């Protein structure tokens, strides 16, 4: 189990880095969208390339951050019922969902999408829209995103099995980064405690 947990940590680290990097695509999409709107309103002109790059950036964020979202336990859950159950039962639900839903669904999509993306690469597929962009890079993101999701699903499965065997901490805790305000409040309380 130690080897599997080490592999899980490596997958987690990889998806953490990818997720942090890909979040910059959100800023890029906002900038492109704003520029497109300004050019359209100020100069009464637009380009399909501007619209398509926005779609590509959004697709990149969605596909490449799905695994990062799973890592951070931020996917939508129905906690109305599961939240009332014990941690072990919640973990068993996660194991069941991963084995019978997440991994088969992601594997099937990957199986179908690899030939589709490969055909796009081989043909150098481009947009049918006037002034559009090449399509194959966006299509290649689909299998890459699902490979990352499958790897993260396996990592989550390992962590949950280790938790059930008493070998790892609770993996169902949601990831929380302290905001600047929370850090400031803690620092103020800490300083008050030192003065008292």
The pLDDT tens digits of the residues spanning 147-185 come to 999 999 999 999 999 898 888 787 777 666 677 777 788
CB atoms within 10 A of CB 24: 11
Q: What's the confidence (pLDDT) of residue 185?
A: 82
Do the Cβ atoms of 137 and 94 come closer than 8 Å? no
Residues 144, 59: Cα–Cα separation, whole Å: 12
Q: pLDDT by residue for the chain (196 residues), tens digit each? A: 788 888 888 998 999 999 999 999 999 999 988 888 888 888 888 777 888 888 889 999 999 999 999 888 887 776 777 778 788 888 888 899 899 999 999 999 999 999 999 998 999 888 877 777 888 888 999 999 999 999 999 999 999 998 988 887 877 776 666 777 777 888 888 887 777 6
Query: Would you kindly state where each structural domain of the chain is located, as residue ranges?
Result: 2-195
What residues contact 114, with CB distance under 8 A and at least 6 apart? 143
Q: Where are the alpha helices (DSSP H) in 23-135?
A: 24-43, 48-71, 79-82, 87-97, 103-123
With residue 11 as reference, give the H or E element that holds it. Answer: helix 2-22
∠ CA 3-107-81, rounded to 5°: 80
The tokens for 157 are 């499965």
Residues 154, 103: Cα–Cα separation, whole Å: 8
Q: What's the confidence (pLDDT) of residue 175?
A: 61
The tokens for 178 are 């302290």
Residues 66, 61: Cα–Cα separation, whole Å: 8
Q: Torsion angle, CA of 91/94/96/97, rounded to 10 degrees?
A: 170
Do the Cβ atoms of 138 and 59 come closer than 8 Å? yes
């Amino acid at each position: 189990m130690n080897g599997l947990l080490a592999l899980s940590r490596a997958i987690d680290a990889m998806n953490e880095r990818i997720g942090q990097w890909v979040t910059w695509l959100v800023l890029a999409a906002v900038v492109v969208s704003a520029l497109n709107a300004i050019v359209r309103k100020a100069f009464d002109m637009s380009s399909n390339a501007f619209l398509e790059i926005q779609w590509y950036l959004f697709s990149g964020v969605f596909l490449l951050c799905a695994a990062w979202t799973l890592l951070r336990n931020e996917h939508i859950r129905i906690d109305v019922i599961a939240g009332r159950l014990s941690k072990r039962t919640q973990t068993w639900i996660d194991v069941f969902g991963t084995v019978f839903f997440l991994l088969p669904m992601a594997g099937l999509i990957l199986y179908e999408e690899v030939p589709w993306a490969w055909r796009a690469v081989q043909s150098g597929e481009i947009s049918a829209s006037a002034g559009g962009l090449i399509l194959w890079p966006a299509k290649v993101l689909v299998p890459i995103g699902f490979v990352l999701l499958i790897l993260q699903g396996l990592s989550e499965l390992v962590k949950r099995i280790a938790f059930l065997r008493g070998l790892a901490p609770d993996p169902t805790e949601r990831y929380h980064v302290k905001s600047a305000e929370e850090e400031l409040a803690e620092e103020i309380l800490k300083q008050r405690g030192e003065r008292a």
